[in-house]
Chain A
Amino acid sequence: MLGVLVKRVVNRVYQVVLRPTLACPVSTRGYKGEASDDSRGDLIEIPLPPWTEKDGETMDMKRRRLLFQSRKRGMLENCILLSLFAKKYLNTMSETQLRQYDRLINEPSNDWDIYYWATEAQPVPNVYAGEIMDLLKEFTKNKDQEQRLDAPNLEYLDKGSQ
């Protein structure tokens, strides 16, 4: 009797654990399934030209450029997150902070990495750690539980309407 029960429990556990993935799916984000680990061969063998800081840009121009680059990202999650972050912090960042932010959003080649670092799903590489990354991580936590339905409209920048 106990044997039967144990067998049932074990079977149930197996069913749950080894249940085949759904046959009708979609772009499951962050979904690897049974695929082997990422060998990163392309990143190693095909290095892209290194990112360099822009010279001769005024702080104002930097802010304007970073605004565009915060709002236009590779996937929706980053579009919303970075444009809200930019709305809150971009106009009050110091020069050092602007440069940190510039590097953070422009150097990594995979936009998903920025999302994984901000949500603390993956550890932040040392080169991006710093004030801005900390601010971003804190901001992402959404401690005030505000609704983040969409990227904000630009009109908060319209001095004329204030």
Chain B
Amino acid sequence: MLFCAYKPLTNAIVAVKRNVIDCIPRNVLLLNKHSDRQISQYPVVDHHFDAVVVGAGGAGLRAAFGLSEAGFNTACVTKLFPTRSHTVAAQGGINAALGNMEADDWRWHFYDTVKGSDWLGDQDAIHYMTEQAPASVVELENFGMPFSRTEDGKIYQRAFGGQSLKFGKGGQAHRCCCVADRTGHSLLHTLYGRSLRFDTSYFVEYFALDLLMEDGECKGVIAFCMEDGSIHRFRSKNTVIATGGYGRTYFSCTSAHTSTGDGNAMVTRAGLPCQDLEFVQFHPTGIYGAGCLITEGCRGEGGILINSEGERFMERYAPNAKDLASRDVVSRSMTIEIREGRGCGPEKDHVYLQLHHLPPQQLAVRLPGISETAMIFAGVEVTKEPIPVLPTVHYNMGGVPTNYKGQVITHVGGEDKVVPGLYACGEAACASVHGANRLGANSLLDLVVFGRACALTIAETGTPGEKLSPLKPNAGEESVANLDKIRFAEGTIRTSEIRLNMQKTMQNHAAVFRTGDLLKEGCDKMDAIYQSMEDIKTFDRGIVWNTDLVESLELQNLMLNAVQTIHSAEARKESRGAHAREDYQDRMDELDYAKPLAGQEKKSFDQHWRKHTLSTVDIKTGKVTLGYRPVIDRSLDQEECSAIPPAIRSY
């Protein structure tokens, strides 16, 4: 019984009964170039599942749960324990037009989201998401999520930015449902707990390396187990990517160190395109360096932003709103101050958020978290000194392109074409519901709706227990060779150095302030940094719990995201949503929507920018190739919900 002889993987709940058919570990022998190094051996275990989900955050767990509930033998491969996914950081809430605080209609939510996306969002996906929102929240409630309630016992809903009533004409809407201050955690806990009842198999602390593609079809995922260094091929007809965003390409981001764009990179290495990567959302006040978010509430309480001359510079950029102007205006003003030489600190590369002019009791009572965070991460006593802040990367609107059903698509011959066997949801995907700019509290909604959509689509198009098509015996060999190469890398530049170079370049050249020359310079620098990966130096040669190796593989993934982001940004010669350029300050649509439309001639597809960017990378050279596909302007059902034609976006 060779299976019994193989050491059980203690940190994963392996469903012994059903899945491990071909479990005799085969050894992948790798010959090394240097005769004095031992031959590396990697035991490979093959698994068969009906569905594999990569990532166990909100989207991954919802997909895994939905699939398990539908009877599919599902594996969830994750590098982190499910409740430690970055979703746990979310404390805002989920938007849904339940109408508990005032009369509401999902079509108003639809309008807000389309407008928020600056008309780059696909309206069929947005229709799907906003229409499903109330049912999704009620469903979560039925699963056991303890949403906060009003006194009447209905789900409490609060106001959030960008949400309005009556298509923008009815004032502020209250649509954001929350679980006290731990909505993200509650979502993870509930979904993880429920999925276990359906026998979902979790492979925790397994790092997914690559997709197993054959003839343009996805046949599974290859991953390596950090606990014992074994390689695992998860074969399946259905693979769902739910790996989150890639904030870590920048020097300053609010994301955890786990947001490394692993899914986007896997898709890129498979030769498939990523969409709209240039759209990166920035939040004005993250702590300089650390990147921890400083709430806007600080400025609401009277905090002000000052430059090196001690001037309250927002008075110049937004004379009325001053420090409380909209997020992207504040971010850009801060960046202009820094670029014009009035930045603070020894490198003059940030500005200050001053709170010490406020009474200490006010700070202690209303903003207690800020005082602690500032002391811990900036070593600053807020009653005496200002906090160094910088516009900080917060969310990635772009990712793996999918249709509204969650199926990954490519664009061939002017048509969208589904990639068989591959799905994506969550921040890793680009459905695209957020378009050029995401509204607050729409992200958790995105996770739940599209996680469920992937599960539904798979259940519709397949059956549990279906026989798998054969896979080449050496599938995934390249991924293992790459792993081995990184593990024994003996170049001259350390992983941390290359990573810092990449982060600083992205921060300087592709942050809030974007202009042609700066972007072009950044592209050249990033290309060189990409090449420098050939010279990487790692120091830990072990295979068990090798953090150096994992961080180096993550760096490879980040690098692919970074080059696509900066090249896409350089190519897009307009300003739209979060992508704002000094040299092209206006949106360039097919018609000029600022003027009356009658008599205008529609610009051809090549001449306007209301289109999605599709980027691919030649892995060896690092060369980025860009293509475009049109935005979907029709809703799922024109009778039920008419699409919103583009207009000028003003609030």
Contact = CB atoms under 8 A, between A and B. Distances in A.
Interface of A: 20-43, 45-49, 54-55, 61, 64-65, 67-68, 71-81, 83, 106, 109-112, 119, 121, 140-142, 145-151, 153-155, 157-158, 160-161
Given A28-B92, A65-B545, A112-B88, A72 B258 contact: yes
B91 interface: yes
A147 B376 CA distance: 8
Please classify how large the interface on chain B is, using the bins under 10, 10 to 19, 20 to 34, 35 or more: 35 or more
Contact of A42 (B190, B283, B544): B190
B189 A48 contact: yes
Contact of B146 (A39, A54, A55, A109): A39
A30 B189 contact: no
B543 to A, nearest CB: 11
A38 to B, nearest CB: 4
Shortest Cβ-Cβ A-B pairs, 3 listed: A149-B289, A153-B496, A41-B146
B249 interface: no
Contacts of B291: 76, 150
Given A64-B544, A154-B496, A26 B92 contact: yes
Interface in B252-300: 253-258, 283, 288-293, 295-297, 300
Contact of B539 (A33, A49, A155): A155
Name the residue among B84, B86, B90, B381 with the largest chain A CB count within 10 angstroms: B84
Given A20-B159, A46-B193, 19 more contacts: A22-B296, A26-B394, A27-B254, A27-B293, A32-B180, A35-B181, A38-B182, A45-B144, A46-B194, A64-B542, A64-B545, A71-B551, A72-B84, A76-B292, A77-B377, A112-B88, A141-B375, A149-B288, A160-B539
B161 A25 contact: yes
A42 B186 contact: yes
Nearest to B164: A23
Interface in B357-386: 368-369, 372-373, 375-379, 381
B295 A54 contact: no
B161 A24 contact: yes
Contacts of A140: 376
B464 interface: no
Contacts of B162: 24
B223 to A, nearest CB: 15
Given A54-B10, A155-B494, A76 B92 contact: no
A146 B194 contact: no
B588 to A, nearest CB: 27
B257 to A, nearest CB: 4
Interface string B505-546: 000000000000000000000000000000000011010111
Contacts of B92: 25-28
